[in-house]
Amino acid sequence: MKTQKVSALITALLLVITTLISNRNAEAQSSKLPCRIEISIAHISKDLWVKTGKRAVKVDAFSRCHSPQSKVTLTVELWKTGEFLNHFVYSTVKRSIGITSPRDQVENFDTYVYCKNRETTSYYGIAYSKAFIEGKWQYARHVLSRIINPIDCGT
Amino acid sequence: MAECFRLMQAERSRYELQAAILFEKGSFSRQNGNYLLKYKIKGDRFVWNALPSLATENSYSGEAAISKSRIEQIEQLIEFFAKSEAGIIS
């Protein structure tokens, strides 16, 4: 019994240490990355609802870099979950020609689809980008919405 | 986005004609202000590209999974055309 308790304690301790180390590595890695992409949770657009009375599911994303970036291509995809496979719904690409300073962000807020009915569906977004930074192309890896929420919106 | 909704209603008959052309030819393009809008059917997706006439302007594109029934596809294309035109304005 005592051996089991000690073993459980050691396992828990190892888990905590591993988590701490991996978190520290992730932080170090993210501080090294030249660009950061953020994507929202899929949601019903309040703005559209207020202005038109129509419901639409939407995901927003933006990219911000530590250095000036140009020729930014920011892609945002909207997906819905399925029983066996997830299904692509809609995607948009914004290609920004000019130079974007480190203070500013390149936004893509145009990825939305009108609801056909109120069928509960789980949606999520994916965003990725490429940009010309300090003389070379930089690619930001795919970022997924933090949470996949069921929404009363069939598409 | 409100502009997209307005276009879906105001330009519905033009979009229905455009949908018929797209189904028949598989692709077509039209000039919209400073942008050339190109549409095509690529595999199981509708694709649009908005190419600026000025090199200093941003460009845009979009893709949508094609619905199953023809009625749904036409409704989808009406939304699709409106989005492509509204996306440039916003």
Exposed (0-12), middle (13-18) or buried (19+): which is B30, by Cβ within 10 Å?
middle
Give per-residue pLDDT as tens, A49-96.
888 888 999 999 999 888 888 899 999 999 999 988 999 999 999 998
Measure the CA–CA gap between B58 and A143, rounded to whole angstroms. Answer: 23
- Assigned token pair, B69: 């029934």
Both tokens assigned to A117: 């009915």
What is the domain partition of chain A in residue ranges? 1-32, 34-154
Tell me the per-residue pLDDT of A126-135, one tens digit each, with 9 for 90 and over.
999 999 888 8
β-bridge mates for residue A88, sequence order: A79
pTM beyond 0.90, yes or no: no
pLDDT of residue B87: 67
Compare CB distances from B2 to A52, A87, A110 and report the shortest one's residue: A52
Q: Do A114 and B79 touch (CB under 8 A)?
A: yes
Computed over every residue of chain B, the mean pLDDT equals 90
Interface mutation target, options A69, A92, A115, chain B, most CBs of B under 10 Å = A92
Least confident range from A41-45, A137-141, B84-88: namely: B84-88
Cα angle, residue A61 at apex, residues A58 and A67 outer, rounded to 5°: 170
Q: What are the φ and ψ backbone dihedral angles of A32, each rounded to 5 degrees?
A: -85, -25
| ipTM of the modeled complex | 0.86
Residues 22 through 41 of chain A touching chain B, CB cutoff 8 Å: none
Q: Is the pLDDT of residue A21 over 70?
A: no
Give start and end residues of each alpha helix (H) in A44-134: 46-52
Tell me which chain B residues have a C-beta less than 8 angstroms from the C-beta of A104: none
Give the CA count within 13 Å in the CB-facing half-sphere of A5.
2
Sign of CA dihedral A20, A144, B87, A138: positive
B17: Cβ contacts below 8 Å, ≥ 6 apart: none
CATH of domain A34-154: 2.60.40.3930
How far CA B17 is from CA of A153, B11, B13, B32, B78, in Å, comes to 28, 10, 6, 16, 10
CB neighbours of B74 closer than 8 A, spacing ≥ 6? B16, B19
Residue A108 · residue A74 · CB < 8 Å? yes
Span B17-61, pLDDT tens digits? 999 999 999 999 999 888 999 999 999 999 999 999 888 888 999
Kindly tell me the burial class for residue A136, based on how many C-beta atoms sit within 10 Å of its own C-beta (0-12, 13-18, 19 or more): exposed
Q: Which helix (H) or strand (E) holds A17?
A: helix A2-32
Joined tokens for residue B46: 């509708």
Instruction: Of A79, A88, A92, A78, give the one whose Cα is nearest residue A129.
Output: A92
Q: Does B66 touch chain A (CB under 8 A)?
A: no
Locate the domains of chain B by residue range: 2-89
Give the chain B residue whose CA is nearest to the CA of A155. Answer: B67
Confirm or reject contact between A86 and chain B (CB < 8 A): no
Return the structure tokens found at A153: 């919106």
CA B27 to chain centre: 11
